[in-house]
Amino acid sequence: MTTPVETTVTVAPGVRLWTERRGDPRAPALLLVMGASEPGLSWPDPLVDRLAAHHQVIRYDHRDTGASTRVFDEAPYPLAELAEDAVRVLDALDVDRAHVLGLSMGGILTQLLLADHPDRLRTASLWSTFAMSTTPLRHDDGATTPVEELPGPDEELIGWLSGLTPRPDLEAELDQRVEKWRRMNPGPLPLDAADFRTREERIIAHSGRWDDSWAHALADQSGLLRTDQLAANTVPTLVIEAPADPVVPPVHARHLDQVVGATRLVTIPGLGHAPVRRALDPIADAVLAHTLA
């Protein structure tokens, strides 16, 4: 395994993003796109290492996360701009085409890449994310359910998350972050609290602060639908279903499998919204089977 290479890249005037490359630089690139308000270090190292045995793995901090520029308060941007940032990261690192794995909001951004920049993708993998399409879900009996009637996130969880504020000291902040991940993982796969605490300690040290930004939640979410483009997609796309996810109910994975062209659906039993250690090998196996096919 090669030594990880960290650098910052400029994606817009006054906006610099932290990036890390791991693995053989001659291997096909795999870009990891994280969810809302989460930095690149939220991708667990054991998963990154498994993927980096076959790819040059690139993870990065979105703007307003981690060690990247915090800019939203002075210069608000639409959520779709984060997808363009992903392309700019590839440009800055001289990557012509990449495999892309997106989690949660990162899966939304990956769909925008499929629709707007398919020439930059070798494959796509969508994990626990909503569809950027207005096509209704078709059921086995022939009935359909409009997108707006599909179940949303667990209301109790969303209520708890909306009340989060930075804690007055580090230990209390770490307790709160571990509790967040526990609530996002209500299924049978165990959450190792010590593992997530260590990960969050590293993220805070990397960021130099522990006040999370609400930029991604506040960003303009208009103009995200790509119904026709996703239906016509030809980039091989893996849809990862998380049956125990309280943020993105698993029916949305089936919806993605229907509305996005060239998809294949895989289910990780017990998987929630948290990347717990017990799920990392099955996820890596699924992604690598897809990217190396």
Residue 95's pLDDT is 98
For the ranges 28-32, 159-163, 197-201, 286-290, the lowest mean pLDDT is seen at 159-163
Neighbouring CB atoms inside 10 A of 2's CB total 12
Percent of the chain predicted with pLDDT > 70 = 100
Q: Please, what is the average pLDDT of the chain? A: 97
* Domain containing residue 166: 5-291
- Answer yes or no: 73 catalytic: no
pLDDT at 223 over 70: yes
For 85-123, the pLDDT digits (tens) are: 999 999 999 999 999 999 999 999 999 999 999 999 999
pLDDT at 212: 83
* Residue 55 among the catalytic residues: no
Q: Which residues contact 78 (CB under 8 A, 6 or more apart)?
A: 219, 220, 221, 222, 223
Predicted confidence (pLDDT) at residue 257 exceeds the cutoff of 90: yes
If you average pLDDT over residues 73-89, what whole number do you get? 98
Hey, what are 283's tokens? 């996820």
What does the pLDDT read at residue 1? 59
15-22 and 5-12 beta bridge pairing: antiparallel
Query: For residue range 143-193, what is the model confidence (pLDDT) as tens digits?
Result: 999 999 999 999 999 999 999 998 999 999 999 999 999 999 999 999 999
Tokens for 10? 């400029």
Catalytic residue among 54, 55, 68, 104: 104
CATH code assigned at 159: 3.40.50.1820
Confidence of residue 2 (pLDDT cuts 50, 70, 90): confident
- Give me the number of domains the chain comprises: 1
Which H or E run contains 33?
strand 29-33
Q: Which of 245, 255, 257, 290 is the catalytic position? A: 245
Res 222 pLDDT > 70: yes
- Candidate list 55, 216, 252, 273, residue with the active-site label: 273
Residues facing residue 20 across a β-bridge: 6, 59
- 8 Å CB contact between 67 and 202: no
From the list 222, 139, 198, 164, the residue with the least C-alpha distance to 37 is: 164
Q: Is 104 a catalytic residue?
A: yes
What per-residue confidence (pLDDT) applies to 292?
Answer: 98
Flag whether pLDDT at 226 surpasses 90. Answer: yes
